[in-house]
Amino acid sequence: MDINPVIYLDYNATTPVAPEVVNEMLPHFLTAYGNASSRDHIMGWQAQEVVDAARASIAGNLKVNSQEIIFTAGATEAINLLLRGLEIGDKNHIITLKSEHNAILDTCMALESYGMQVSYLDLDKNGLVDLTELEKNITDQTTLVSIMLVNNETGVVQPVKEIAGLCKAKGVPLMSDATQAIGKMPLDIKDLGIDIIVGSAHKFYGPKGVGFLYISDSFAKKLQPVITGGGQEQKRRAGTTNVPGIVGMAKALALASELMQEDKPRIERLRNYFEEHLSKAIEIDIVGEKAIRLYNTSNLCLKNTDSEKVMMAIGNKVAASRGSACSSGKIEASHVLSAMGIADNEALSAIRFSFGRYTTQSEVDKAIELITEAVTRLRVD
């Protein structure tokens, strides 16, 4: 039985914390609450032990070494730590995509004010980077390529193994924002050839306010702290260790990895059912339909409809995200869809629906009904 009055189809924004994760975290709030930096007594020792175990668990799930994981307050902080803290020597050029999360784009724009040169590449109509264009933009001044593994708005999966091979041939490290991929796709970071990734626990049924940076040993020595004031996280990220959050993140990733084979086909079936039945009821375009997409994401352009008005009509019953953002009071087309060459009027009709572990068939059926009713009414009006 569905107990939530709101049909939650915004799992790419955040996920509910899994009950198993809450149970794992509770003792570290109530009884085992020692500071992992307290070196002189057993409660501090025990706290450090569980942090070390969590680090090993996360590293094991990603097929990397424990010392290559640095805990942060989330993916945004991890991105800032990397982009602002990586020693670049005499190189001053970064390559990224116009479709990246704002944590990348805004930080790159801030770095430009300090003299960094940044190339922002377009996508093709399927949401994929042009590898020829990428290769052409790499120069002897390029210090980093940053390309998201799975796009948060469209679910399009970039060919990161090919991108990593290209970067390796050019001697340039590849950073990938893997926030939407971790816990949803099996990932062997070493096999993919990615040098640096970031992740955030609340995208895979863990708590908010905790994440991590993975940086391979070969580049870790070049990373300087951005937050100073303590020797935590191998002297690369100062601040009291978030023991409950780290324990919860490790449990959430372990659980997601364990349930992946069960979750994936069920969620993908619901997503495909949603798209198929909605397309029969109203005219839609599926963004990135011809690309490989993450199985839980559906970005739809609702033809001849304003997505803001649709969400105003259904927002108290269906939680989803518009494919547009409000900037200074002005509604603007999604930068992701614009990077794919989608016209503003079409982009302004886009809504992202994202499905997850707790989505039910009855919720999907009801969402289709509510969206169809709203769009049909608005098109008549």
pLDDT, tens only, 261-280: 999 999 999 999 999 999 99
pLDDT at 326 over 70: no
Instruction: Answer yes or no: do 299 and 366 share one domain.
Output: yes
Last residue of a domain, one of 230, 254, 278: 254
Q: Do 208 and 298 belong together in one domain?
A: no
Q: For residue 230, give both structure tokens.
A: 């303590």
Same domain, 373 and 325: yes
C-alpha 6: how far from its chain's center? 23
Q: What is the pLDDT of residues 343-379, one digit of tens each?
A: 999 999 999 999 999 999 999 999 999 999 999 999 8
Q: Which one of 224, 254, 284 terminates a domain?
A: 254
Q: How confident is the model at residue 90 (pLDDT cuts 50, 70, 90)?
A: confident
Given 239, 254, 269, which residue is the final one in a domain?
254
Q: 236 with 98: CB under 8 angstroms?
A: no
Q: Which residue has the higher pLDDT, 5 or 326?
A: 5
pLDDT averaged over every residue in the chain: 94
- Provide mean pLDDT across the span 55-67: 97
C-beta of residue 55 within 8 angstroms of C-beta of residue 233:
no
pLDDT at 380: 64
Looking at the structure of the chain, the number of domains it has is 2
Which single residue is written with the structure tokens 């198993």? 20
pLDDT value at 39 more than 70 = yes
Instruction: State pLDDT tens for residues 16-36.
Output: 999 999 999 999 999 999 999
Is 250 strand, coil or helix?
helix
Query: pLDDT at residue 330 above 80?
Result: no
Residue 86 CB partners (closer than 8 Å, separation 6+): 143, 144, 219, 222, 223, 224
- The reply to whether 285 and 337 lie within a common domain is yes
- Same domain? For 231 and 122 the reply is yes
- Mean pLDDT over 116-143 rounds to 97
Please indicate, yes or no, if residue 243 is contained in any of the structural domains: yes
126: nearest Cα among 164, 99, 147 = 99
The domain that contains 229 carries what CATH number? 3.40.640.10
Which residue segment(s) compose the domain that 340 sits in? 7-16+260-380
Pair (148, 297) in one structural domain: no
The percentage of the chain sitting over the pLDDT mark of 90, rounded to a whole number, equals 90
pLDDT band at 4 (very low <50, low <70, confident <90, very high): low
Q: Which residues are catalytic?
A: 326
Report the b/e string of 315-351 with b at 16+ CB within 10 A: eeebbbbbbbeeeeeeeebbbbbbbbebeeebbbbbb
Q: What is the pLDDT of residue 227?
A: 92
Taken as a whole, the chain contains a residue count of: 381
> What band does 1 get if pLDDT is binned at 50, 70 and 90?
very low
Q: How many helices (H) and strands (E) does the chain have?
A: 15, 15
- In the numeric block, the tokens 């940086």 are attached to 215
